[in-house]
Amino acid sequence: MFEWIYMPEAWAALATLTLLEIVLGIDNIIFISILVGRLPEHQRRRGRLIGLSLAMLTRILLLFSLTWVMGLTAPWFTVLGEEISGRDLILLGGGLFLLGKSSLEIHHALEGEADSGRAGGSANFYSILIQIAVIDIVFSLDSVITAVGLAEHLAVMVVAIVISVGVMMAAAGSISAFVDRHPTIKMLALSFLILIGCMLVGESLDLHVPKGYIYFAMAFSVSVEMLNIRIRSKRKVEPVHLRKALKTEDQAVQK
């Protein structure tokens, strides 16, 4: 079981797979952060930890069900000459769920209805966990299939998933706080989820879009928004300095 420890290629696969799992998990963190942001303050950290733990558990369970997972890529039936597999159905359902949920969150944000501190927090908490669990299955499916293609040893795949989820748990709090502080970032993140939902629907219909293009567009958009945030923060600081300078000047005149 642990013979891979003495294999350099297994360690290279572990490093590559861990990095890939972290990159593929960014959309999962965004989704969890936005959902958890609707919870009362004292429940958010627990919601993030449970959500990411569910993601790790889902991926590990899928890894131990490799035969079933790989069987999902085999055609189940045909519609209008197109072969439909179990993976296609899961991606289609997950993509539609993301599109609907992201659109609803954007509507709530625009209408001012996203009050995370309203009554019924415990019921809201469990409903959000269910939503996280559902989308974790969708996000985990491609991740597990990618892991199977990159690594030969099951232990390597499990270790990579545990490490990547640990990194995501450490970063999730900071990401959530940053998203909560900046409404424009939240809107951008919701737009990313709509983009990912469209990509999942396209994948289910055999319309393959290279993920590198998607991640480049997301990284470019975030970079532009970071510049906008920096400009806005500087504009807020400048009037404060101006008021202090005018106050000092007035005091000097009075003396």
> Tens of pLDDT along the chain (255 residues)?
566 676 777 777 778 778 777 776 777 777 788 788 778 888 888 888 888 888 888 888 877 776 666 667 777 777 777 778 887 888 888 888 888 888 887 887 777 654 444 444 455 788 888 888 877 777 777 667 666 666 667 777 788 888 888 888 888 888 777 777 777 877 887 888 888 888 888 888 888 777 777 778 878 888 888 888 888 777 766 555 555 555 665 555 565
Domain ranges of the chain: 7-208, 210-255
pLDDT value at position 1? 52
pLDDT value at position 121? 47
Rounded Cα distance between 37 and 45, Å, is 10
Rounded Cα distance between 208 and 201, Å, is 10
User: Among 192, 227, 226, 191, which residue's Cα sits nearest to residue 211?
Assistant: 192
pLDDT value at position 197? 83
List, in sequence order, the alpha helices (H) in the chain.
8-24, 26-36, 41-63, 66-71, 86-111, 121-150, 154-181, 183-204, 211-254
DSSP string covering 129-158 = HHHHHHHHHHHHHHHHHHHHHH-S-HHHHH
Contact call for residues 225 and 185 (beta carbons, < 8 A): yes
pLDDT value at position 114? 45
Sign of the dihedral through C-alpha 129, 72, 165, 100? negative
Contact call for residues 151 and 14 (beta carbons, < 8 A): yes
State in Å, rounded, how far the first CA of the chain is from the last one: 83
- 26-36 vs 41-63: helix crossing angle, rounded to 10: 150
Which residues are within 8 A (CB) of 4 and not within 5 positions of it... i.e. 6 or more apart?
10, 153, 155, 156
